[in-house]
Amino acid sequence: MEYKVKLTNRNYLVPVSGQNRLALMNTGDGKQFLIACTCQEEFEKLGLKDARPELFSYERLKGIVIDDGEHLSGIVVDPLGKRIILNQESIEKIDKLSQGMSVRRTAHKGTVRVWQPKAYPAGMQETAEAYFSRLAAVRAAWMFYLQGEGEEKPHWVMLLDFTGDRKVIFPGVARMMKPFMKPGEKFELMEAAGELGEHARKKGVPLYAEKIGKVPPLN
């Protein structure tokens, strides 16, 4: 697993065609993987005449997989070379090893319990206010505990009201939250939309709100 962690600290050439359509590798069992090449030679092995190479960071590729986890199974590095497959499970393990936590989007089924903590970890609210006040794309943020049906314990979920590309915004927010997560703790980032978004706006106390400015602490 350590050699896979090293794959996260670099950029990759990704085949892109037409209107920013990313090339995918399809497996015999119906799974789809984003293609990432470590060099021009590996890119040319693909033989994709209609695709152009574009530079993507690992974090950006990971964000795409997290954002579309129902359809994308992961990332394949140099598919016609060493062929290293990073599936969703591998990506989560890499996050835990390299960052001390994992950030993933989960398809929750059945009854989902959501509640706000009595207090935030020390320094979380001040750090969030300082970070988001410099990030014009984020209008508001809420922190909840979330526990899905069948899950043994709850985990943190942050709901963001934002404009722009989540693949650009979410990795930075995850890094900002890292110091407040316990080793191996699960942390979920979601857009403040649907039922959860409505619940946050109607009943939640924001961790940060652009129009309000500094928000009184929960306790």
Q: List pLDDT tens digits, range 99-129.
A: 655 555 566 667 889 999 999 999 999 999 9
Alpha carbon distance 79, 10 (integer Å): 17
pLDDT of residue 152: 87
Is residue 95 pLDDT above 50, yes or no? Answer: yes
**Cβ–Cβ under 8 Å, residues 145 and 155:** yes
In eight-state DSSP terms, residue 180 is G
Please tell me the pTM assigned to this model: 0.62
Q: Which two tokens stand for residue 79?
A: 């598919």
End-to-end CA distance of the chain: 41
Q: How high does pLDDT run on average in the chain? A: 86
Q: Please give the pLDDT value at position 198.
A: 93
Q: How many residues does the chain have?
A: 219
| pLDDT for residue 213 | 47
Residue 65, number of CB atoms within 10 A of its CB? 21
pLDDT at 121: 92
Antiparallel, parallel or unpaired: β 84-87 and 101-103: unpaired
Nearest residue to 207 (alpha-carbon basis) of 198, 216, 199: 216
